[in-house]
Amino acid sequence: MTDALDAVARLFVNDGLSEDEIARQAALYGPLADDVRALIPLAVQTRAGDDDVRQAREHLAAAMELLGRTKEDHPFGTRFNDNGNFRVWGNAVMGLRNAIAPLHRINHDPDGRVWADFHLHVGFEGPAGHTHGGVSALVLDQLLGDAARVGGSPGMTGTLTLRYRKPTPLGDLHGEAKLDRTEGRKAFVTGHISGPHGICVEAEGIFIKPHWPVEDGRDRNQTR
Ligand SMILES: CCCCCCCCCC(=O)SCCNC(=O)CCNC(=O)[C@H](O)C(C)(C)COP(=O)(O)OP(=O)(O)OC[C@H]1O[C@@H](n2cnc3c(N)ncnc32)[C@H](O)[C@@H]1OP(=O)(O)O
């Protein structure tokens, strides 16, 4: 566990950036991730022929060479400034700089409910034409974890139990979660994902506050 704690501490950094600099970086790198995100379904769906694919790959190789000239050699982690502006831009579900992240924003209601409307493109396919079950788990893990945090009990996922009630379509979906109760360091959270025909996946999670200090931030309306 010591290695894990070291990594968490090392990647939990007050980088002292001004709000203007954070906004500048968000405006620069957010659209880059959006472009990469748009490439993913294209790679699945394009019917381009040999020459066009070869040419596209040359352009992509040039872009990768350009972007790789200067880069960090570690994950993004959690960065913040003195204003409490927290950034998790590498997060797999909602990271602003992460092209696989399907959520743009998690909303918080005054009653503690957290929710997100999101779109899953064809790169998230599992059963033909439908969402991969692991992707539903990914989204629900984040939503339930955020509900625990907003409810004042931030923690690591200890147990996540899912009931896949009916196939989850691709496309426009809704997810939500709410803290049910706490017992000591354990937060019990429920949630679901729904599509145009109702609830597809139900989730129950137990989130456990680790021994090491964690960010609370329950009032923070977290954007990616
Ligand atoms: C914290 C902020 C970070 C937010 C990030 C959100 C990201 C999205 C969520 C994630 O993806 S987290 C990543 C996936 N989860 C992990 O990697 C967790 C790995 N496991 C651990 O780090 C530890 O096992 C854990 C912190 C969950 C628990 O370790 P502890 O040493 O604190 O537990 P301990 O053995 O002291 O048990 C405390 C209580 O929790 C119970 N417990 C322990 N592990 C459990 C478990 N896995 N599920 C359910 N309950 C569990 C245990 O029975 C006991 O209950 P009682 O108090 O009633 O006796």
Shortest-distance Cα residue to atom 57 of ligand 1: 184
Shortest-distance Cα residue to atom 31 of ligand 1: 210
Question: Per residue, what are the HEC states of 130-166?
Answer: EECHHHHHHHHHHHHHHHHHHCCCCCEEEEEEEEECC
Q: What is the pLDDT of residue 5?
A: 77
Instruction: Give the residues across from 187 on adjacent strands.
Output: 182, 207
Retrieve residue 201's tokens: 């996946």
Q: What is the pLDDT of residue 192?
A: 99
The pTM for the full model equals 0.93
Q: What is the pLDDT of residue 211?
A: 81
Q: What is the pLDDT of residue 217?
A: 52
Q: Which ligand 1 atom is the nearest neighbour of the CA of 211?
A: 32
* Best residue among 156, 181, 212 to mutate for probing ligand 1, ranked by most atoms within 8 Å of CB: 156
- Is the CB of 16 within 6 Å of ligand 1? no
Are 170 and 120 in contact, with CB atoms under 8 Å apart?
A: yes
Distance 185 CA to ligand 1 centre (A): 9
Are 42 and 123 in contact, with CB atoms under 8 Å apart?
A: no
Q: What is the pLDDT of residue 221?
A: 45
Q: What is the pLDDT of residue 219?
A: 45
Homologous superfamily (CATH) of 102-208 is Hotdog Thioesterase (3.10.129.10)
Give me the residue spans of the domains in the chain: 1-101, 102-208
Distance 212 CA to ligand 1 centre (A): 12
**Cα 165 to Cα 202: distance, rounded to the nearest angstrom:** 7
* Best residue among 143, 208, 220 to mutate for probing ligand 1, ranked by most atoms within 8 Å of CB: 208
From first to last of the 224 residues of the chain, give the pLDDT tens digit: 677 778 878 899 999 999 999 999 999 999 999 999 999 999 999 999 999 999 999 999 999 999 999 999 999 999 999 999 999 999 999 999 999 999 999 999 999 999 999 999 999 999 999 999 999 999 999 999 999 999 999 999 999 999 999 999 999 999 999 999 999 999 999 999 999 999 999 999 999 998 876 665 544 544 45
- Close Cβ partners of 93 (under 8 Å, ≥ 6 residues apart): 101, 102, 103, 138, 139, 141, 142
Complex ipTM, two decimals?
0.94
Distance 208 CA to ligand 1 centre (A): 4
- Is the CB of 107 within 6 Å of ligand 1? no
